[in-house]
Amino acid sequence: MKLKVSRFFLLIPVVILFGAGVFVRSLRQTSPASACITMNYSGTLQPSAQMAFWHGQQVAIPTNLLAVEDLGTSQVLGVADPSSRYIEVDLSEQKLRAWDGSDLFMETLVSTGLAWWPTPTGEFRIWVKLRATRMEGGEGRYYYNLPNVPYVMYFENEDIPGWLGYGIHGAYWHNDFGTPHSHGCVNLPTDSAQKLYYWVTPNLPEGSSSVFSSPHNTGTRIIIHE
């Protein structure tokens, strides 16, 4: 009898730990954390910014981010109507595919959210495009301060509001695409992000560095899955 009682008490910590794990997973599913929030939606670059800070390390900001691209603000033409275009993000493969109807426009490796900052799954729409912005957040060893994050495409749906800061954007602070690295966003190589930025809607007005979607200028559909 004493042996059975001892085993019972030994099981209590295991049950508590298991229950805590279930609670944390449930909390993550119902209360997503903020991702890469910005307070500046102008889309303008900061030419004076030279250094970024990412997870305990200083990172030099590439000077080519300030270059004027050949694409200008024109929409990249495709085979299908812009309303038929969509982006697919495969979390298990760490790949992004942009579909021009049934034709593949581009494919690239990406870095999505780490296990404790997961990238949400589902169907979304781009609600704002920014040529560049500063992103700052995280805590402790995971603190980041990133000026001139290039070619930002924030997305949202009814369950994941835009203010949470989930987006697709270029990343200059690492080159390990194909492996999760982010706080929930979808990181792309800068040249791929540039190509995608001018292909998706909403269309960017001539001379502008940012644009919000509207009923007459809707954002491209994004599908994120495991």
pLDDT digits (tens, 9 = 90+) for 78-109: 666 788 999 999 999 999 999 999 999 999 99
CA–CA separation, 39 and 35 (whole Å): 13
Q: How many domains does the chain have?
A: 1
CA dist list (Å): 77 to 86, 105, 124, 199, 201 = 14, 10, 22, 7, 12
Evaluate whether residue 155 is within a structural domain: yes
As a whole number of angstroms, the distance between CA 194 and CA 55 comes to 25
**Residue 19 included in any domain:** no
Q: Which amino acid is at 61?
A: I
Band of residue 138 on the pLDDT scale cut at 50, 70, 90? confident
For the question of whether the overall pTM of this predicted structure is more than 0.95, the answer is no
> Does pLDDT of 117 surpass 50?
yes
Q: Is residue 94 part of a domain?
A: yes
- We report the CATH number of the domain holding residue 127 as 2.40.440.10
Query: For residues 201 and 80, is the Cβ–Cβ distance under 8 A?
Result: no
In a domain, 109, yes or no: yes
| pLDDT of 186 strictly over 90 | yes
Whether 127 is in a domain gets the answer yes
Residue 9 within a domain = no
Residue 13 lies in a domain: no
Tokens of 143: 């603190």
Task: Please return the burial class of 223, using the count of CB atoms within 10 Å of its CB with bins 0-12, 13-18 and 19+.
Answer: middle
Summarize pLDDT for 41-67 with one digit per residue, the tens. 999 999 999 999 998 999 999 988 887
Domain that holds residue 87: 32-225
Please check whether residue 11 lies inside any domain of the structure: no
Place of tokens 């009814």: 158
Q: Is 194 helix (H, G, I), strand (E, B) or coil?
A: helix
